[in-house]
Amino acid sequence: MGTIIKPEDLQNPIVPIDPGFYKELLDRIGDGVYFVDRERRILYWNEGAYRLTGYKAEELLGKCCQDDILCHVDHSGKNLCQEGCLLAASISDGGLHEANIFLRHKQGRRVPVSVRVQPMRGADGSIIGAIEIFSDDSAEIAARRRYEAMSRLAFLDHLTQLPNRRFMEMSLQTELSEYQVHKDTLGVLVIDIDGFKAINDCFSHSCGDRALQEAAKTLTGSLRPTDIVGRWGGDEFLAIARNVSRELLSKLAERCVALIAQTSVPSNDDRRIYLSISVGAALARPGETAERLIQRADELMYRSKAGGPRRATTE
């Protein structure tokens, strides 16, 4: 005989609370979710957080977010875990906080994420911690489809999974033709990894390959979804930025420098090798050829390199 449900049961339902049910539910969503207590110790870490960061729950539970494991930074490269932590702010003022920031993946690259933080309250209403929900903000799905199409057409650099030189040359010619007709502003960035030969010589070529791969991923996340970044050759990258002013082009270049400076790769003996780049950025001029535009940006990049690492020069 089945269970009899009385009318009064429907008005005051009793739902059994099974923590395993909620864990399974949170693990199924694509967003990263984690809880911290008032001391910002991590109490819960879901599967979405693992997929987005590379860190498993057992690696982080009990650790403090201010230990700089994820090393949240803003668009200028400012370390938010030490100054400007959204979790600390939410615990302090009880408010909802949102931001678009960058976290550090376990492999060392920078991942752009949209973050929402709000306080967690106990039965008496007091704040007992905070929850952070973060999601990928890099238009990764669209990029993956583009890369698959380029791979079929031999336009993909297989080491970095970025467009190759052939694709970038074709794209720049197309964009310059559009610029000459419609006068929409166009800029290019020539980006070179500082000291790349030393990484290969001192740590091995496989370490150099990892540096190129992680730099490629960080650069993709540093630029706008409408920009194109590809491997130009060796340790050099080229980015094409549409509809930019000189000021915006300069900001994009500085952002790339700041976020690559926060990017690292492991050496074969588990030391961290922090990367840096030099950037030259130039706006297209009327009647200018692709060769001349890249030459000007390349000269600006070498001007940056002459001034020391982690510099960008815009013209």
DSSP lists the bridge partners of residue 241 as 187
Alpha helix ranges (H) inside the chain:
7-11, 19-28, 47-53, 57-60, 86-93, 140-152, 165-182, 196-203, 205-222, 246-260, 290-306
Structure tokens at 152: 């079929």
Which amino acid, residue 302?
A: Y
Contact criterion met (CB below 8 Å) for 133 and 97: no
In sequence order, the 6+-apart residues with CB closer than 8 A to the CB of 307 are: 313
Name the active-site residue from 235, 269, 270, 298: 235
Which amino acid, residue 52?
A: L
Distance CA 20, CA 189 (A): 50
Burial class (CB in 10 A: 0-12, 13-18, 19+), 154: exposed
Of residues 274, 282, 275, 257, the one with CA closest to residue 75: 257
Distance CA 311, CA 280 (A): 9
R_g of the chain, CA atoms, integer Å: 24
Residue 212, SS3? helix
Distance CA 134, CA 100 (A): 9
Strand extents, DSSP E, 46-159? 97-104, 110-121, 127-136, 156-157
Check if 209 is active-site. no
Burial class (CB in 10 A: 0-12, 13-18, 19+), 75: middle
Instruction: Tell me which residues are annotated as active site.
Output: 235
